[in-house]
Amino acid sequence: MDYPRIIKGRLDSFRVKPNIPDYQKMRDNFRWEEISSELAWFDNEHINIGHVAADAHLETDRRNKKALIWESQRGEVEEFTFANLAKLSNKFANILVNEAGVLRGDRVFFFLERVPEIFVGILGTLKAGAVFGPLFSAFGPDAVRDRLFDSKAKVLVTSPSLKRKIAEIIPGLPNLEKIIVVNRKNDVLDADDLSYEAAMERASENFQTVHTNKEDYAIMHYTSGTTGKPKGAVHVHNAVIGHYATAKYVLDLHSDDIYWCTADPGWVTGTSYGMFGPWSNGITQFVYEGVFSARQWYKMLEKWKVTVWYTAPTAIRMLMKAGDDLPGKFDLNSVRHVCSVGEPLNPEAVMWGERVLGKSIHDNWWQTETGSIMIANYAIQDIKPGSMGRPFPGITAGIIDDNFDELPAGQEGNLAVRTGWPSMFRTYWGKHDLYQSRFKKGWYITGDRARTDDEGYFHFISRADDVINSAGHKVGPFEVESVLMEHPAVAEAGVIGKPDPITTEVIKAFVSLKRGFEPGEDLKEDIKRFAMKRLSMAAAPREIDFVDSLPKTRSGKIMRRLLKAKELGLPLGDTSTLEND
Ligand code: AMP
């Protein structure tokens, strides 16, 4: 079905003039150096993201401006100015250096709920010259262990209940020297835990931020691949140029905005755009700790008079499901600009935004590895529902064939980005060969398939690999299969993404059983629970089918493509490498 183009109209029809008044002109004149000069550098080579996001505002009229408004699930509110964030993050940096022995470049990981301490802690870690890595609080012990072990994290910042959840893995982490526990509920702490509250109390509020080199490592986000365990994509302090520029020009942030990014800081969107993008721009952001509820989300938009809202397709589809009448019960007039990322945004969702919310939803595309938005729909530009938009000014994106040569408009191929943008990842932690394999002929190969049209808009087609997109969480099938095989009854497992109208895909596992185990509903449920406890809700199989054996290549690799084709009733394609066919 063809969807009508959403026409944005002339510049003077906008309530607030968009930061990009003319896309083509912006593209023609864009220079990263110019953008970068808007940020607070120590000198030509040295910059620190923590400094740019917090302390840089101290000498400006934003000093006492609210940086963070936080509301808990239970409705408590806490507010922090930029000066508060600067001071608290100094204290945290002092704790790391003086009480946890953290040195420049050490890894400090956060396995914490969406509480203000995670924001303070991350800023403090950066200011101390260490590298932070966030872990989604819904992860189970296996998922946490893999990431802490691989990164050789020296410090873990967590809460009593999350620590209890992963207690079994801690003895197996030889590099972990200190656990800092954020104890909001006044739990009894273990003897060797460092209490965040007590340490903050004694820490000095003065700290000399480390003058990190722009190429020093700063951020580590784990991301899934098809084979092997998740890999740590590493970003440097220079990345903040990308966060800043894209927050300004794609999210279209203006100084008096109230901005809400619904992503958790456990994922890259929750740090690039739930911290560094808005704060490097000196913007007030709202954070809601609670879980999704359509009514509650509309209420938050109304209550905090949110003007710019960055969310995700699964959330939008759940809002759609909650009914067209609901938004009308709230005053959503403050909302000026809505953006979405993480999964394909269906044209129906864009049309719903226009019809029911009275807002255009601006889809954009990027990845953990790219660090910042690469392709976007801009406030000023018409939207073609179903398209991710056009490359950010300063970014060259293309569609290339399997020889890495560019394809003309209209042809499906591999989505690639010309190397060299500021927030490009610099390595996969400990896997530099794998990193290098992602670059060919001056392109970074994204792992997505797409096409362009004759106006240069990009249209997403699919992943090129087996990585599953479950409500925006990227899940590597190998990680799930490995956990399933730890179940005493499972001999082998093959995992695929099965299309789902709300969450893009759900995880489906095909499992063969060890001798002596009988297939049955109880066993299915037991395996599901087993996986949920070790991974997370998004990564655990929603469906399990028992099979006698799994289709494999002659070299023994599970042919997930065949499992998927059979599941969806699609042609099986080339089966020449299948064993026993
Ligand atoms: P992550 O690294 O977890 O941020 O996931 C990045 C992947 O999510 C991309 O490679 C895409 O497969 C998918 N993705 C992100 N944004 C979009 C979008 N706007 N449309 C379609 N897929 C997207």
Is 381 contained in some domain? Answer: yes
Distance of CA 200 to the CA centre of its chain: 29
pLDDT tens-digit map of 24-40 = 999 999 999 999 999 99
Give 580's pLDDT tier (boundaries 50, 70, 90): low
How confident is the model at residue 576, as a pLDDT?
67
Q: What is the pLDDT of residue 1?
A: 65
What CATH number does residue 83 fall under?
A: 3.40.50.12780
User: pLDDT (tens digit, 9 = 90+) per residue, 136-191?
Assistant: 999 999 999 999 999 999 999 999 999 999 999 999 999 999 999 999 999 999 99
When pLDDT is averaged across residues 202-214 and rounded to a whole number, the result is: 98
CATH number for the domain harbouring residue 519: 3.30.300.30
Regarding whether 425 and 539 lie in a shared domain, the answer is: no
Query: Considering only CA atoms, which residue is closest to atom 5 of ligand 1?
Result: 367
Ligand 1: centre distance to CA 191 (Å): 42
Residue 498 is part of which domain span?
467-568
Same domain assignment for residues 431 and 476: no
Please count the structural domains in the chain.
2
- Please check the confidence at residue 420 and state whether its pLDDT lies above 60: yes
The domain boundary residue, chosen from 425, 452, 479? 452
> How far is residue 545's CA from residue 574's CA, in Å, rounded to a whole number?
24
422/351 same-domain check:
yes
Supply the residue whose CA is at minimum distance from atom 7 of ligand 1: 367
Looking at the fold, whether 428 and 543 belong to one and the same domain comes out as: no
Q: What is the pLDDT of residues 74-113, one digit of tens each?
A: 999 999 999 999 999 999 999 999 999 999 999 999 999 9
Last residue of a domain, one of 452, 482, 514: 452
pLDDT at 225 over 90: no
Q: How far is CA 479 from the centre of its chain?
A: 18
Residues 218 and 247 occupy one common structural domain: yes
Please name the residue ranges forming H helices in 140-190. 141-151, 160-165
Please check whether residue 577 lies inside any domain of the structure: no
Tell me, yes or no, whether 324 and 410 share the same domain. Answer: yes
Q: Per-residue pLDDT tens for 167-178?
A: 999 999 999 999
Residue with tokens 């998927």: 564
**8 Å CB contact between 274 and 287:** yes
d(CA 423, CA 241): 7
CB-based contact 503:471 (threshold 8 Å): yes
Q: Please report which residue ranges of 353-437 form alpha helices under DSSP H.
A: 432-437
Predicted pLDDT of residue 41: 98
Angle 490-492-498 (CA atoms, 0-180°, nearest 5)?
100
116, 78 contact by CB (below 8 A): yes
- Report strand pairing: 443-452 vs 439-440: antiparallel
Whether 457 maps to a domain, the answer reads no
Q: Is residue 447 part of a domain?
A: yes
Tell me whether residue 574 is in a domain. Answer: no
User: What is the per-residue pLDDT for 237?
Assistant: 98
Same domain, 362 and 440: yes
Tell whether 446 and 545 lie within a shared domain. Answer: no
Q: How far is the CA of 341 from the centre of ligand 1 (A)?
A: 7
**Token pair recorded at residue 167:** 């207690």
Identify whether residues 435 and 481 lie together within a single domain: no
The answer to whether the predicted template modeling score (pTM) of the entire model surpasses 0.85 is yes
pLDDT tens digit sequence for 421-444: 999 999 999 999 999 999 999 999
Q: Measured from the CA of 364, which atom of ligand 1 is nearest?
A: 19
437 and 471 part of one domain: no
Residue 441 lies in a domain: yes
- Is residue 415 domain-resident? yes
Phi and psi for 432 in degrees, rounded to 5? -70, -30
Task: Tell me the average pLDDT of the chain.
Answer: 95
Of 426, 452, 478, the residue at which a domain comes to its end is: 452
Residues 441, 368 within the same domain: yes
State pLDDT tens for residues 107-131: 999 999 999 999 999 999 999 999 9
Alpha carbon of 224 to ligand 1 centroid (Å)? 12
Cα 460 to averaged position of ligand 1 atoms, centre (Å): 9
460 found inside a domain:
no
Output the DSSP codes for 73-115.
Answer: TT--EEEEEHHHHHHHHHHHHHIIIIIS---TT-EEEEE--S-
**Do 223 and 298 lie in a common domain?**
yes
Average pLDDT on 351-360 reads 97
Show the DSSP H helices in 166-230 as ranges.
196-202
In degrees and rounded to multiples of 5, residue 510 shows phi and psi of -105, 125
* Ligand 1, pocket residues at CB < 6 Å: 223, 268, 341-345, 363-365, 367-368, 388, 446-448, 460, 463, 469, 474
pLDDT > 90? residue 347: yes
Which of 367, 372, 388, 470 has most ligand 1 atoms within 8 Å of CB, for mutation? 367
pLDDT for res 581: 44
Q: 210 pLDDT exceeds 90?
A: yes
